[in-house]
């Protein structure tokens, strides 16, 4: 097997990306398009999904914005069906939709815990399930779930037991799906970003601590959302053909300390 730069190309690999309306999801959608993929941009915010799709269509090629809910199997099934009808059978997918907030564990209402887990973990499962049904039928594909380094560590100063637990769940769900679908050609991996300048990490309770987080990061800064696109392109591409069940930590070295 001879390696060439073409292994990183996503041309001919239509993509379905949840949470594509902003932040890391939008950055990955644009990165995939820059590497040749046609992209279906799925988000609960219809205007945001369309805005990302328009950016892609203007700069790179074919894209479609689709509104929907990652906690609804019917919504996801319809969205995937629309993506396939518009762009062709999806070959790669990124599950990026998620939420975060902060509440002391002893004061956290049960419904708040359930909401975060329902979107961040159950939503990833339902998304992967809908995507895999297409990929398994066509003999292969690549699914990338966005976890977090918060699935490995408990962030100092952030009261987010529900968020941390949901992201740890995404990491192990990824391994479980990877082993279940490996013999049918579907690779499943996760990316665990460190502190990144997403809309969620511009919340008041986080923004005031960003300087401290940067100081605790060996690279000495917070990541830009665009820095998550390269790792995602790698995992989606043929360059990662022997990579499955992996959690790729992209944190500037934070967890090393």
pLDDT grade for 198, boundaries at 50, 70 and 90? confident
Q: Per residue in 84-114, pLDDT tens? A: 999 999 999 999 999 999 999 999 999 999 9
pLDDT grade for 202, boundaries at 50, 70 and 90? confident
pLDDT grade for 81, boundaries at 50, 70 and 90? very high
Kindly tell me if the per-residue pLDDT of 41 is higher than 90.
yes
Taking alpha carbons only, the member of 40, 45, 46 closest to residue 28 is 40
Q: In whole numbers, what is the pLDDT of the chain averaged over residues?
A: 96
Asked if residue 22 lies in contact with residue 199, where contact means CB atoms within 8 angstroms, the answer is yes
- The pLDDT of residue 205: 67
User: What distances in angstroms separate CA 108 from CA 39, 153, 163, one per listed residue?
Assistant: 38, 20, 12
Residue 63 forms part of a structural domain: yes
How far is Cα 250 from Cα 151, in angstroms, rounded to an integer?
13
Asked if residue 112 lies in contact with residue 160, where contact means CB atoms within 8 angstroms, the answer is no
Residue 242 forms part of a structural domain: yes
Total number of domains in the chain: 1
Q: Is 213 one of the catalytic residues?
A: no
Q: Per residue in 151-197, pLDDT tens? A: 999 988 889 999 999 999 999 999 999 999 999 999 999 999 999 99
Catalytic pick among 163, 195, 213, 254: 163
Containing 172, the helix (H) or strand (E) segment is helix 161-181
What CATH number is given to the structural domain containing 81?
Answer: 3.40.50.720
pLDDT grade for 142, boundaries at 50, 70 and 90? very high
Residues of the domain holding 78: 12-192+223-249
Residue 55 forms part of a structural domain: yes
Containing 32, the helix (H) or strand (E) segment is helix 23-34
- The pLDDT of residue 191: 98
**Residue 146: helix, strand or coil by DSSP?**
strand
Residue 197 forms part of a structural domain: no
Percentage with pLDDT > 70 across the chain: 98
How far is Cα 181 from Cα 157, in angstroms, rounded to an integer?
38
């Amino acid at each position: 097997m001879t390696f060439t730069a073409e292994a990183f190309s996503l041309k001919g690999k239509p993509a379905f990306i949840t949470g594509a309306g902003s932040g890391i999801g939008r950055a990955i959608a644009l990165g995939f398009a820059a590497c040749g993929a046609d992209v279906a941009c799925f988000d609960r915010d219809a205007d945001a999904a369309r805005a990302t799709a328009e950016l892609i269509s203007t700069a790179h090629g074919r894209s479609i914005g689709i509104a929907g809910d990652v906690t609804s199997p019917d919504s996801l099934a319809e969205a995937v069906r629309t993506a396939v009808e518009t762009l062709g059978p999806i070959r790669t997918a990124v599950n990026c939709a998620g939420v975060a907030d902060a509440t002391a564990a002893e004061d956290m209402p049960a419904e708040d815990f359930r909401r975060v887990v329902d979107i961040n973990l159950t939503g990833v499962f339902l998304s992967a399930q809908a995507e895999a049904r297409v990929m398994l039928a066509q003999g292969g594909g690549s699914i990338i779930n966005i976890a977090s380094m918060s699935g490995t560590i408990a962030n100092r100063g952030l009261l987010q037991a529900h968020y941390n637990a949901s992201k740890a769940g995404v990491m192990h769900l990824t391994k479980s799906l990877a082993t279940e679908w490996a013999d049918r050609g579907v690779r499943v991996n996760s990316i665990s970003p460190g502190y990144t300048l997403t809309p969620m990490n511009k919340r008041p309770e986080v923004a005031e601590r960003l300087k401290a987080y940067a100081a605790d990061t060996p690279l000495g800064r917070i990541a830009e959302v665009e820095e998550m696109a390269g790792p995602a392109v790698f995992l989606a591409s043929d360059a990662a053909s022997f990579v499955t069940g992996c959690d790729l930590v992209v944190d500037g070295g934070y967890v090393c300390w």
